[in-house]
A and B are shown apart, each in its own frame.
Chain A
Amino acid sequence: MRWLRPFRTLRRELSPTTPREASDAVVRNLMLHAFPARATKRALAWGTTGWLGTVTLGFFLVLCATGGVLLLLYVPSVERAYASMKDLESVVVFGSWLRGTHRAAAHLMVVAVVLHLVRVFLTGAYKKEGAPGAFRPLNWLVGIGLLVVTLGLSFTGYLLPWDQLAYWAVTVGTRIAASVPLVGEQARHLLLGGSSIGQPTLTRFYALHCFVLPAATLLLTFWHLWRVRKDGGLAASDRVVDDAIEKARHAPAAAGKSYTLLGTTAGGTVSTRSPAPLLHEATSFAVPNLVRRAMLVLLATLALSSLLGLVSAAPLEQAADPERTPNPAKAPWYFLWLQELVSILSFEVGGRVLDGAFLGGIVVPGLLLGLLAAWPWLDRSPREAAGLWFHPARRVQCRVFLALLLVVVALGVVGTFFRGPYWAWTSPFAPTLPVPTRV
């Protein structure tokens, strides 16, 4: 069976029987080429990273696959977009599941990308000091870029159904852009493709959601993964290498050869203290150990989003109605902390009101992102603090980070559960929301 040969080759590459086959696999196979020949056992352990980066990538792949099908079923027109969503929900075979899976994967990707950022921060894996030639802060910046692009994909994504949520989210979102002094109005005009929401707006957000932002995500992801290799793998692996070198220094010198003059003058005798055997013990072949785990993680993300898509259908509000604002008009949960901020950050100073839209929608999120981006240069902890959870030398900054995160989460909780009609205080335990009647 000649045509089966590529599959046999692939199977052999994925299940090598000899070290030679294992190290050959990463060179022979295009996809496996992304992996190193060997990885530290610590990097492979589930608890070191939680595999959260791979999880995020998994959800992104699910989104690309389901999005590719949705692309063929959705009509990006203000007259027909909502009707195509209705078709998807009630007419298209498995349409509701497709959409549910896409939505579940989107929400889970936001969760995963944030948890990944939290993990990298709490383990100090962004630190400047690493292996020779490594510069992890650059990859930290790429990661922040990926976080922003992910949120952009979410925002443009929930606009496309052209329901009430979509319409009023564009209204509020583009007004936040317009609150920037000097260039704001032009930015809003550029986003809307005019002075009011219409077909040009939908076309622009459609292009952003289906081409510009996914392309940016892919490119940044490739760069992100490539940087991990350039930086010598995970920061946790640096500690394994350090340990091996330290142990080798104190171990009795093994009889061996030194090929350099320095080797003989420094040691006095012709001997070596190489960490190589210790390192060999602390690592294992990437194929199959790393590849198999990565594939398992990807499979788990597919399974989780598919099942969630099955049990929780994606909501669809009433068709976009420019004449009627829902009360309350709430953003999706991951933007509710921002909605809370733009609502509470208006201050009266000397008879003038500082606009909460600009403070809460632009300044505060911008400052938070800037602080995140600058953090590797503010972190003065020693290099040993990289790659370990809550290293004592980083205890204070981990607490500051978690406190800031807690504030964001708390604002989101307030926005989700404690805000009712007219964004007034309410209780999640109130039997029914008191919706005031319009005069």
Chain B
Amino acid sequence: MTHATHDHDPHGPTRRSLLAAGATGCAVAGALAHGAAWTLSLAPRVSYEPPSVRRLGPPKTFPEGVTFLSAEKVFVVRKEAAFRGLSAVCTHLGCTVDRTDAGFRCPCHGSEFDAEGVRTGGPAPRGLVWRAMSLAADGTLLVDLAGEVAATVALTVPEESLR
């Protein structure tokens, strides 16, 4: 069998080289498309996680001082009618801090915080995070576990919700 003869510019692409380049291009494009599709498919578009705003109960059930809510990983700090929420998630690597006499302390790597959540020692890069609190229409205390507010921001609940 003889090879295909060149009846055109011998330096230009032959049928074989053109087909080879086309096939290689298809293979690369296919690999990239599949790779991108697989990677994107792994980023969920629907979350089945609970919403970040959690219902904590009527304000009057919280005693004066600090109450730890383990499911929400939040400390509710009440001073008379003023409520604040301090996240119990360590800002270092996410373990739940314990409340101690001096403030808070992390069991995983030993980060230390004072009673206002300010970092006093250990590897944590910053202090504990304060969460925004609000009241639902039915008077239930809410905490938003997603956002962050200043330590001075407190929710003052009306007198009647404490009775």
Q: Which residues of A contact B (CB under 8 A)?
A: 168, 171-172, 174-176, 189-190, 193-196, 198, 200, 204, 322-329, 339, 342-346, 352-357, 421-424, 436, 438-439
Write the residues of chain B forming the contact surface with A, with a CB cutoff of 8 angstroms. 42-44, 47-49, 70-71, 73, 92-96, 98-101, 105-110, 119, 122-126
B123 touches A345 (CB 8 A): yes
Given contact pairs A194-B47, A357-B93, A342 touches B123 in the complex (Cβ within 8 A): yes
A195 surroundings in chain B (CB, below 8 A): 47, 49
Instruction: Write the chain B residue with the least CB distance to A419.
Output: B110
Report whether B93 and A171 are in contact in the complex, using a CB–CB cutoff of 8 Å.
yes
CB of B123 within 8 A of CB of A323, answer no
A-B contact pairs, 23 of them (CB 8 A): A174-B94, A175-B94, A189-B43, A196-B49, A198-B48, A200-B44, A323-B73, A323-B96, A325-B95, A325-B98, A325-B106, A328-B108, A342-B92, A346-B123, A354-B125, A355-B125, A356-B92, A356-B125, A421-B107, A423-B109, A436-B98, A438-B98, A439-B101
* Given A193-B42, A194-B44; A353-B95 close (CB under 8 Å): no
- Given known A-B contacts A194-B49, A323-B96, A329 and B108 have beta carbons under 8 A apart: yes
In the complex, are the beta carbons of A328 and B107 less than 8 A apart? yes
Q: Give complex CA distance A339, B107 in Å.
A: 12
Query: Do B44 and A172 touch (CB < 8 A)?
Result: no
Residue of A nearest to B72 (CB): A323
Given contacts A176-B93, A325-B96, A355-B125, contact A168 B119 (CB under 8 A): no
Q: Which chain A residues lie closer than 8 Å to B126 at the CB level?
A: 353
Complex: chain B residue closest to A176, CB-CB: B93
- How close is A208's CB to chain B, nearest CB, in angstroms? 12
The complex places the Cα of A340 from the Cα of B27 at a distance, in Å, of 47
Q: CB-CB < 8 A to B100: which residues of A?
A: 436, 438-439
Distance of B34 from chain A, by nearest CB (Å): 16
Nearest CB on B from A422, distance (A): 5
Q: A171-B94, A353-B126, A436-B100 are in contact. Are A339 and B44 (CB under 8 A)?
A: no
Among B96, B101, B109, B119, find the residue whose CB has the most chain A CB atoms closer than 10 A. Answer: B109
Q: Decide if B95 touches A329 in the complex (CB within 8 Å).
A: yes
Contacting residues, chain A, for B93 (C-beta < 8 A)? 171-172, 175-176, 342, 357
Bound-complex Cα distance A421 to B109 (A): 9
